[in-house]
Structure 1
Amino acid sequence: MGKIIAIANQKGGVGKTTTSVNLAASLGVLEKKVLLIDADPQANATSGLGIDVEQVEHGTYHLIEHTVSAKDAIVSTSSPNLDLIPAHIDLVAIEIELVDKDKREYMLKSAISELKDEYDYILIDCAPSLGLLTLNALTAADSVMIPIQCEYFALEGLGKLLNTVKSVQKIHNPELDIEGLLLTMYDSRLRLSNQVVDEVKKHFDEMVFKTIIQRNVRLSEAPSYGESIISYDAGSKGANNYLSLAQELIEKYA
């Protein structure tokens, strides 16, 4: 039975898509069968894995609309053991289209239920908002991973996200766990980075992943080549960080 993890934070620019793509690729390299679902209208996870967004025929939009089966929406990627359900340009309209629908928060959950036994991990890259798309991801997921950048205002908005998680647990998905908080964009030379790490660990302790994702030029270059950091530069600090995160996740459920 696969584990479904939503990667969410309503703040933009915290390393959500970077984490989704590179954690998925790292789990694949460690011989786990992985599916990445791009549930962000910006479609960065899709282009970051070398898929031309303009050419996408079926994707998350059609999946949530139930006009295509999950299996028909899957495309394979050049990354080992990694499949993708890409974002489609129409995904931007889904929030408005879902408003009047019955059980609108459960659309993604029912669409991907048939895939749970096919993969070891299903990761969902969420949009930077707490709208219906993110709500669908949280309702479908077993747990949520929250990337937090090691910068000023890091904890701003975290309370709001944790409250959203609580209300999803109460109303839609009592099984939803917090997988953990992931510190990203860490620069050991900056006092502020170290202060944020200390503060997050002080407040959240056990909930924080041991692995910290460091600032890394190669990590920011990789998406422009349509590659994960693992295929772009396997020896880089960024690749090591994400492989270490994947290992930490695997060991947690071993």
Structure 2
Amino acid sequence: MSSVRLVTIANQKGGVGKTTSAVNLAAALADNGKKVLVIDLDPQGNASTAVGAVHTSGTKSSYEVLLGDCTAEETLQGSGNLFCIPATIDLAGAEIEMVSLVRREFRLYDALHNGFLEKHGFDYVFIDCPPSLGLLTINAMTCAEEVIIPIQCEYYALEGVGQLLGNINMIREHLNHELHISAILLTMYDARTKLAEQVAMEVRNQFGAVVLGNVIPRSIRVSEAPGFGKTVVDYDPSSTGARAYVAAAVELDKRGDYVPHPTTGAIGVSPEIYAELEG
């Protein structure tokens, strides 16, 4: 049995730092000696860009893996401890093409659980998916055991979170019994504002111990890094953003997989709070 931690970074809301968190947690863990794979399931390919992977149209990518046109092995890029299965723009039409395929919700699972993960000995696999719940995200969630939800410390932070929790519970119930939220990461924290403090407090009150202690501050360096085809951890290791991601990655690794209390199910919160968020 592989000890790899399979993690989907998910939030149906855009602009919350989902891709940024996926690639920087991955890079920080890789720098810390862990062997890490980033799987890009977003047609925009931003995670591929950030880790320096080639993802021009025609490059073998997650699109071909999902359709069964090539193996995960053939798409693998990277060196050292950080690897990537990139996404190309071809992925934009994949959901329509996958509808008629056998085991359409498990295409990624089948591609990885055929000896590929064991052969490479990955410690972590981070799956970055689009901000929607189509077949791409469902494939990520049937493949992973853990979900990390980035939540931004701004207005309407919890908007849509109830729907996301409902979707995770639905996938857990029907497709993947192992799926659960293992961490919530607070992003875009601006210590100068009262709002950020209030949002952080509200998220901690709602979700309790599943929320990571380390928060990611708003940082220009974090925004700049992808333009150079790098994670902020590599672009400017001494920046506040890079140091925050390194600290969050260390915390994530040290505490292991956070498994919620049996009475709260996949989402790690009480039924009352879940109903309130969903409403």
- How high is the TM-score relative to the length of structure 2? 0.88
Percent of aligned pairs with the same amino acid: 45
* Unaligned runs of at least 5 residues, structure 2: 258-279
Residue 71 of structure 1 aligns to which amino acid in structure 2? E
State the partner residue of 1:177: 180
State the partner residue of 1:49: 51
Structure 2 residue 51 is the aligned partner of structure 1 residue 26: no
What aligned pairs does 1:65-80 form with structure 2 within 5 A after superposition? 65-76=67-78, 80=80
State the partner residue of 2:276: none
1:245 to 227, 243, 248: 248
> Once the 2 structures are TM-superposed, how far is the Cα of residue 209 of structure 1 from its aligned partner?
0.8
Structure 2 residue 183 is the aligned partner of structure 1 residue 195: no
Query: Do 1:6 and 1:144's aligned partners in 2 also have CA atoms closer than 8 Å?
Result: yes
Aligned pairs, how many?
252
What aligned pairs does 1:92-131 form with structure 2 within 5 A after superposition? 92-113=92-113, 114-117=115-118, 118-131=121-134
Over aligned residue pairs, what C-alpha RMSD do you find?
Answer: 1.3
Structure 2 residue 87 is the aligned partner of structure 1 residue 84: no
Whole-Å separation in 1 of the counterparts to 2:199 and 2:139? 30
Residue 153 of structure 1 aligns to which amino acid in structure 2? Y
State the partner residue of 1:8: 10
Residue 2 of structure 1 aligns to which amino acid in structure 2? V
> Once the 2 structures are TM-superposed, how far is the Cα of residue 76 of structure 1 from its aligned partner?
0.9
Whole-Å separation in 2 of the counterparts to 1:146 and 1:115? 26
Q: Per-residue displacement from partner, 1:66-124 (whole Å, max 9, x unpaired)?
A: 111111110115xx410000002110001111112232111111111133322000000
> Once the 2 structures are TM-superposed, how far is the Cα of residue 54 of structure 1 from its aligned partner?
1.5
Whole-Å separation in 2 of the counterparts to 1:73 and 1:62? 8
> Once the 2 structures are TM-superposed, how far is the Cα of residue 253 of structure 1 from its aligned partner?
2.5
* SS of alignment partner, residue 119 of structure 1: coil
* SS of alignment partner, residue 66 of structure 2: helix
* Unaligned runs of at least 5 residues, structure 1: none
